[in-house]
Amino acid sequence: MSSSISVPGLPETLATTTSVRVPSVKWAQRRDRLLLTIEAPQGVSPTLSLQEGTDNTLVYSCTASSEDSSSYALSLELFGSINASETRMQIQKSGAMLVVIAMKLTAGPHWPRLLKAPGKAPAHIKVDFDKFIDEDEEEELANAKDFDLGDMDNLSLYDDPYDKDIHTDSEDSDDEDVPGLDKA
């Protein structure tokens, strides 16, 4: 998957390398954040920059290991606004994977897509179904956190005042003996 590409906003050191590869990206979202996983199998020393403003561009680059002369580069113009100051990244698996948690500028409904450009996403960008939560499921999880079974200890709060037979010793037609049945 080696190809020479021009990625705007990349450092000059990458512009002079012989081969630039595009890493694969998996993404998921919540109401308030994006979860991005950038996979560059031989990448070391990753750099990530977020350009806030009208374009909200995420730029990733890394140099390859000493065995390979290629580098990895990626530039994503995101669908909505992000807060660069609250965005965090974590390198995993000795530089092979970079996990980015980008905070949305305003929490709200899920974005219909990751990129600003309409249409199908490029082949290297995929939904991360391991982290994916549907917008409705996210709302249910938030409501479930507020639910406490300990609040049901006092069952008299849930008593139906019109249902006297269950909670009183009053006689009811259901309590009458049925003719023809012998008691053992």
Q: For residues 49 and 75, give the distance between their C-alpha atoms in angstroms, rounded to a whole number.
A: 10
> 10 Å Cβ neighbour count for 147?
8
The SS3 call for residue 158 is helix
Residue 8 CB partners (closer than 8 Å, separation 6+) = 75
Report the DSSP pairing between strands 24-29 and 125-127.
parallel
Q: pLDDT tens, position by position, for the chain (184 residues)?
A: 333 334 444 444 444 445 788 999 999 999 899 999 998 876 677 888 887 665 688 898 888 766 666 788 999 999 988 888 888 888 776 657 888 888 888 888 999 999 999 999 999 999 999 988 888 888 887 777 666 666 666 666 666 666 655 555 555 556 567 777 766 6
* Cβ-contact 84, 52 below 8 angstroms: yes
Strands 82-92 and 97-104: antiparallel
Q: What span, in angstroms and rounded, lies between the C-alpha atoms of 25 and 50?
A: 16
Exposed / middle / buried, residue 3 (Cβ in 10 Å: 0-12, 13-18, 19+): exposed
* Euclidean distance between CA atoms 33 and 83, whole angstroms: 9
